[in-house]
């Protein structure tokens, strides 16, 4: 088994980002600032918010958390959009009324939409960006591979499909409800799964010597779990993300990469 260790790549990216933040501070006297808007209490959300705040602090970036009722979010976002000291804004999903998700995320200014949730954001979404970073970091050529993308979610599946199709690679995208996942997965050279359904992918669903990227996240019995069944890791022929330290660390890196780019764009326009 070969592990696709995102933590190792994240270490080098984080050092590069810290240098870029120091340059922004010394050259423009500007400290990058990220605003995170949270509307519900949730174990998974709280963990990610904590990780983002810690990562930002390590880089010298200010991260401010706003916890408030959904009815007040629109006014807050308008205020943050016009605040020159705020360079990036995240609406942490899910929000308390998921039917209003598109309406809310599209309120964020495209130049500050570092999570790339709005229709006009100028940045690449963090998790899809992280997945492509990971594959590139391990010199995995996508052009000669048959890729199966499982999951059509707003955060990962939809934007990643768009990015892969733009690269003109051979990708098939399905949702977790499709009945013949195994038929498709057994023929895929690369499986990327991002459904948030624990144990969806079992060892018998994966072809020999396949590459497997687990970008699924859910909470089960207080633990963070992915889409892969634990027994998948008993296969010794696979190239695979570890159960911890795969896509997660790189997703945080990609988000802050967008924030650094956003900060530079805003200060150089002044």
Residue 158 half-sphere exposure toward CB, CA atoms < 13 A:
7
State the pLDDT at residue 270. Answer: 60
**DSSP 8-class letter at 115:** T
**Cα(34)–Cα(260) distance, rounded to whole angstroms?**
10
Q: Is the pLDDT of residue 220 over 80?
A: no
What are the chain's domains? 29-109 (3.40.50.10860), 126-248 (3.40.50.720)
Interior/surface letters 172-192, b for 16+ CB within 10 angstroms, e for the rest = ebbebeeeebeebbbebbbbb
Tens digits of residue pLDDT in 163-193:
999 999 999 999 877 778 999 999 999 999 9
Average pLDDT, the chain: 94
Helix or strand run (H / E) with residue 88: strand 88-91
The residue-averaged pLDDT of 211-232 equals: 88
**Cα(250)–Cα(13) distance, rounded to whole angstroms?**
9
State the pLDDT at residue 178. Answer: 79
State the pLDDT at residue 269. Answer: 84
Six-digit token string for 257: 């990469």
The residue-averaged pLDDT of 1-11 equals: 94
Interior/surface letters 129-146, b for 16+ CB within 10 angstroms, e for the rest = bbbbbbbebbebebeebb
**Cα(211)–Cα(206) distance, rounded to whole angstroms?**
9
């Amino acid at each position: 088994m070969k592990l696709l260790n995102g933590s190792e790549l994240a270490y080098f990216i984080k050092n590069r980002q810290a240098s870029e933040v120091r340059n922004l501070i010394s050259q423009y006297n500007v400290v990058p600032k990220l605003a995170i808007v949270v509307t519900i209490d949730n174990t998974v959300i709280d963990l990610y918010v904590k990780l983002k705040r810690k990562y930002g602090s390590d880089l010298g970036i200010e991260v401010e958390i706003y916890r408030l009722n959904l009815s007040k979010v629109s006014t807050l976002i308008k205020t943050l959009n016009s605040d020159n000291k705020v360079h990036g804004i995240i609406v942490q999903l899910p929000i308390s009324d998921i039917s209003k998700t598109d309406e809310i995320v599209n309120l964020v200014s495209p130049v500050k939409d570092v999570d790339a949730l709005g229709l006009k954001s100028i940045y690449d979404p963090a998790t899809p960006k992280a997945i492509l970073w990971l594959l590139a970091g391990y010199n995995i050529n996508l052009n000669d591979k048959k890729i199966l993308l499982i999951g059509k979610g707003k955060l990962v599946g939809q934007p990643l499909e768009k990015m892969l199709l733009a690269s003109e690679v051979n990708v098939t995208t399905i949702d977790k409800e499709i009945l013949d996942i195994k038929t498709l997965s057994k023929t895929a050279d690369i499986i990327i799964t991002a459904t948030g359904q624990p144990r969806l992918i079992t060892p018998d669903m994966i072809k020999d010597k396949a590459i497997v990227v687990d970008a699924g996240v859910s909470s089960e019995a207080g633990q963070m779990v992915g889409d892969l069944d634990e027994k998948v890791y008993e296969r010794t022929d696979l190239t695979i993300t570890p159960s911890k330290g795969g896509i997660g660390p790189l997703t945080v890196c990609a988000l802050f990469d967008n924030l650094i780019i956003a900060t530079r764009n805003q200060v150089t326009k002044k």
